[in-house]
Amino acid sequence: MWRVTLKGLLAHKLRLALTALAIVLGITFIAGTFVLTDTLHNTFTSLFGNVYQNVDLQVRGVAQLGSSGGSATRNALPQSLVASVRAVPGVAAAEGSVQGLNVQYVSPQGKAISTGGAPNIGVSFDPDQRVSALRLAQGGPPTTPHDVVMDLGTAQKYGFKVGQTVRILLPFAPPADFTITGLARFGTANNLAGATLAAFDLPTAQAILNRVGTVDSIDVVTSPGADKARVQRAIARILPPGVEVVTGQTVANEQTSAINSALAFFNTALLVFAFIALFVGGFTILNTFSIIVGQRTRELALLRIVGASRRQVFRSVLGEAAVVGLLSSLIGLGLGVLAAMGLEALLGAFGVTLPSGPLVFEGRTVVVCLIVGVGVTVVSAISPARRAVRIAPVAAIAEQQTEADIPLRRRFTWGAGITLVGIVALAYGLTKPLIELVGLGAVLIFIGVARLAPAVARPMSSVIGRPMAGMLGMSGRLGRENSMRSPRRTAQTASALMVGLALVSAIAVFGASLSGSAVSSINDALNADLIVTPVSNVSGAVPNAVVPVAAAAPGVTASSSIYTGKFELKGELNTLTATSTKDLSKTVNLAMAEGTSGSLAAGQLLIDTTTASAKNLHVGNVVPVTFAETGRSTMRIGGVFKANALIGRYLVSDGFYRAHYASTELPVAVLLRTDGSPTAEAAVTHALSGYPNLKVQTKAQFEQSQRAQVNQLLGLVYALLALAVIIALIGIVNTLMLSVFERTHEIGLLRAVGMRRRQVRAMIRSESVILAVFGAVIGIVVGTGLGIALSSSLRSQGITDIVVPVSSLVVFLVLAAVLGLIAASWPARRAARLDVLAAIASE
């Protein structure tokens, strides 16, 4: 029986090659993702290990506000502590250091240097190379307040040399010029994942970063031969409360694990798309094997006649699937390494720069890929294999071959049931929220709809095909008839595309709702005419020096600075927004539901309606709060405002903010009200011309840039979903090829009675377009539903407007038709090239 399986495989090389392609692509994606993330993991681990290899101990503030690890909020230490630590027996060297953000180089062309949203870091340069994370590659350390050491990556990219002058944008002072005294690596890397580094001597760095008299951490090297644990305990004894001493290894591990949790998210996100692709691939496999079993009815029945058991037939079909799955997975693994490089390039194109390192190919990658690849193929082939088992031996000698099919009613009941369960799971998952349940619900809905699809395949193909019959005459007419001929096959083929387009449409609806909500929250919240924000949205901030300059520009009548920070309310980590109170109503529109906005100036807390009802808080309540720098206290709620995503949930005055966030008080935006004169914008832009890291936007431009941000994200998701759509198209190609093969005789006949090659091609193309549009229509309907459900469930997260982007959906439909045409090109050519005589003679 095994030999029969292998022979069967060899006899259907072409159709199986197309099936394999679907799996190959999916596995390539998975393997690529694993290789990429493993490589990055390895790169970062060795990078941080290297950076901290000489640091034995580190003294630092205890992590505040619940979070811990590499990204924790920690308070600064008094600089005097450095001398105390140095005096501890067994300490060979102890150096205090500071670091902060928004220290940004200006390129020779006058642009603020920023690599794809990576932070712009300013640090103190530690002259002791043992403890410094920075290793000088050229030149010397900074010694005067006008010296800087630049990271090698930025220097190489922009052509900076030692001895040159570079302008630097500073967070708390106007931009200034510095002399490059040296170029340094971060550990072994030219830079840290695209982040720029500017290193100054300690006093300069403290001044620049608003840390005069304090340090962020103290790196310690112990004396040779000293017991590190003993030194650690000795240091701990002299430390004030709220300060801790940990080993260098701990710091390295924390940094690595912070990066790794980001990588894990990245890994999961990519794997989700890979599994979507494989899920779509599963439909293609199911369909191919169904058709193959149908075409081999006679052969399989013959096997039964000569004594093959049902079990053997079942195994034979599954065996075929397993071999196909195995081979495709192996090819996919190989291609995955190439894909890893491709993904890196793709993400690079979208502005996410990653450090380079040798590719890592772990055993786990191989195991997962083989299991998933073979698993998906075999599971998809189970239903066709069961159909093969039901073939009666008599079919081998019977005249008519009819495909055994599940009765439509039973099919409908099952499909409707699965869809319903899917909808329930999805709805429950969205309200909880439980992302796994949402995914499961979506999968069930897709499977259910795919089972329902044959019921509507015939009428829908008929409707979709009507214009084609009108346009293309007999060719279109025949294409339409062919698509109606086997509703199950049509539906299965279209289902793959349905899934792809459903996801694309869902994302489109979600994105449009996101954009729409952002725009309406801007309209509701902003009274300002101009908005000053950092060019880099990820970690940027507005330098403090800018605020008075912008406010003094001719035509500006009012200004507010907006700050954000983390705090705990009733022990729960939240984000706080702060705004100036003087010109509040001229720049920000607070729709008060309870209390007054005037209470802000009195140091009270404003909360939004969503939070008020969720936590059952009212004006006059006093809530416990914790701030990193100032510790626990209580606040009185002075008002409740209508929820607005732009404002956030918790609002305080700028005065209150400055009192509790002394070390990080930088605005994230400055809002300006003008006298309405058309020159005001130009005046502000001119006043800020020295700050290329800032942009001045009108309200309309600000809205547009919010839309553009959403669209960029959509672009990335579309690109990742493209693979699923491509696999669906392969499914269409496959079905058409099999149909052409099946109808060789019929096409030959049509050619014999005078159908031109052009007409044959038009016939196959019409069928393909009908298939594609059928899948697209269902997909868009299902996807729009999913998108609306997803968006509605995020109302409390700020998605207040549900927008169905009709024009995008129409574009998808047209695109699907075009893709259908493309998918048809090969089968159409093959059909047109059929040897008429051979086709007729093949009786």
Partner 1 sequence: MTLAEPAPAGQRSDAPAARAVELRKTYGSGAATVHALAGITVTFDRARFTAVMGPSGSGKSTLMHCMAGLDRPTSGQAYVGSLDIAGLDDSDLTQLRRDRIGFVFQSFNLVPTLSAGENITLPADLAGRKVDRDWFDYLVTQLRIGDRLSHRPTELSGGQQQRCACARALINRPDLVFADEPTGNLDSNSSSEVLEFMRRSVTEFGQSIVMVTHDPRGAAFADRVVFLADGDIVDELAAPTADSILEHMRTLG
Write b or e for each residue in 59-75: b if 16 or more Cβ atoms lie within 10 A of its Cβ, otherwise e: bbbebbbeeeebebbbb
CA gap 479, 811 in Å, rounded: 23
Q: Nearest CA to 560 among 588, 534, 598, 599?
A: 588
CB 20 within 8 A of CB 288: no
User: Cβ 476 to partner 1, closest distance in Å?
Assistant: 11
CA gap 835, 172 in Å, rounded: 80
What residues does 575 pair with on adjacent strands? 566
Which one, 517 or 768, has the nearer CB to partner 1?
A: 768
DSSP element (H, E) containing 101: strand 99-101
User: Cβ 484 to partner 1, closest distance in Å?
Assistant: 8
User: Cβ 480 to partner 1, closest distance in Å?
Assistant: 9
> Counting beta carbons within 10 angstroms of the beta carbon of residue 665, is it exposed (0 to 12), middle (13 to 18) or buried (19 or more)?
buried
Which one, 324 or 747, has the nearer CB to partner 1?
A: 747
Which one, 210 or 490, has the nearer CB to partner 1?
A: 490
Q: Is 180 left (phi over 0), alpha (psi -120 to 50) or beta?
A: beta
Strand 63-64, strand 73-74: pairing: antiparallel
- Helix ranges (H only) for 52-158 are 80-86, 152-158
Which one, 485 or 707, has the nearer CB to partner 1?
A: 485
- Look up residue 306 and give its two tokens: 């000569």
CA gap 279, 450 in Å, rounded: 12
Which one, 491 or 750, has the nearer CB to partner 1?
A: 750
Angle at 523 between CA 714 and CA 638, to 5 degrees: 115
Write b or e for each residue in 282-303: b if 16 or more Cβ atoms lie within 10 A of its Cβ, otherwise e: bbbbbbbbbbbbbbbbeebbeb
Which one, 52 or 774, has the nearer CB to partner 1?
A: 774
User: Cβ 398 to partner 1, closest distance in Å?
Assistant: 15
Q: Nearest CA to 153 among 171, 134, 140, 168?
A: 134
User: Cβ 33 to partner 1, closest distance in Å?
Assistant: 45
User: Cβ 405 to partner 1, closest distance in Å?
Assistant: 16
User: Cβ 819 to partner 1, closest distance in Å?
Assistant: 25
CA gap 400, 297 in Å, rounded: 11
CA gap 370, 361 in Å, rounded: 14
User: Cβ 473 to partner 1, closest distance in Å?
Assistant: 6
Q: What is the Cα 68 distance to its own chain's centre?
A: 24
- Look up residue 676 and give its two tokens: 């309405």
Which one, 699 or 745, has the nearer CB to partner 1?
A: 745
User: Cβ 459 to partner 1, closest distance in Å?
Assistant: 16
CA gap 127, 201 in Å, rounded: 8
User: Cβ 764 to partner 1, closest distance in Å?
Assistant: 14
CA gap 89, 85 in Å, rounded: 9
User: Cβ 482 to partner 1, closest distance in Å?
Assistant: 6
Strand 196-200, strand 120-124: pairing: parallel
CB 401 within 8 A of CB 310: no
- Look up residue 398 and give its two tokens: 């019977």
Which one, 505 or 759, has the nearer CB to partner 1?
A: 759
User: Cβ 267 to partner 1, closest distance in Å?
Assistant: 49
Which one, 262 or 749, has the nearer CB to partner 1?
A: 749
User: Cβ 832 to partner 1, closest distance in Å?
Assistant: 9
CA gap 506, 809 in Å, rounded: 10
User: Cβ 757 to partner 1, closest distance in Å?
Assistant: 7
> Cβ of 110: how many Cβ atoms within 10 Å?
10
Which one, 425 or 484, has the nearer CB to partner 1?
A: 484
Which one, 24 or 395, has the nearer CB to partner 1?
A: 395
Which one, 386 or 756, has the nearer CB to partner 1?
A: 756
- Helix ranges (H only) for 402-486 are 408-431, 435-472, 474-485
List of residues 6+ apart from 426 with CB closer than 8 A: 437, 438, 441, 442, 445, 786, 789
List of residues 6+ apart from 103 with CB closer than 8 A: 120, 121, 122, 168, 169, 170, 171, 198, 208, 209
CB 524 within 8 A of CB 720: no
CA gap 357, 39 in Å, rounded: 7
User: Cβ 748 to partner 1, closest distance in Å?
Assistant: 9
CB 333 within 8 A of CB 366: yes
User: Cβ 774 to partner 1, closest distance in Å?
Assistant: 17
CA gap 246, 56 in Å, rounded: 9
Which one, 135 or 757, has the nearer CB to partner 1?
A: 757
CA gap 533, 556 in Å, rounded: 16
CB 209 within 8 A of CB 122: yes
User: Cβ 297 to partner 1, closest distance in Å?
Assistant: 17
User: Cβ 837 to partner 1, closest distance in Å?
Assistant: 5
Residue type for position 294: G
Which one, 74 or 751, has the nearer CB to partner 1?
A: 751
List of residues 6+ apart from 794 with CB closer than 8 A: none
Which one, 346 or 840, has the nearer CB to partner 1?
A: 840
- Look up residue 74 and give its two tokens: 């920690």
Give contact residues for partner 1 (rule: CB under 8 A).
473-474, 477-478, 481-482, 484-485, 745-746, 749-757, 759, 836-837, 840, 843
Q: Nearest CA to 270 among 352, 362, 360?
A: 352
Which one, 227 or 746, has the nearer CB to partner 1?
A: 746
Which one, 403 or 481, has the nearer CB to partner 1?
A: 481
Which one, 183 or 750, has the nearer CB to partner 1?
A: 750
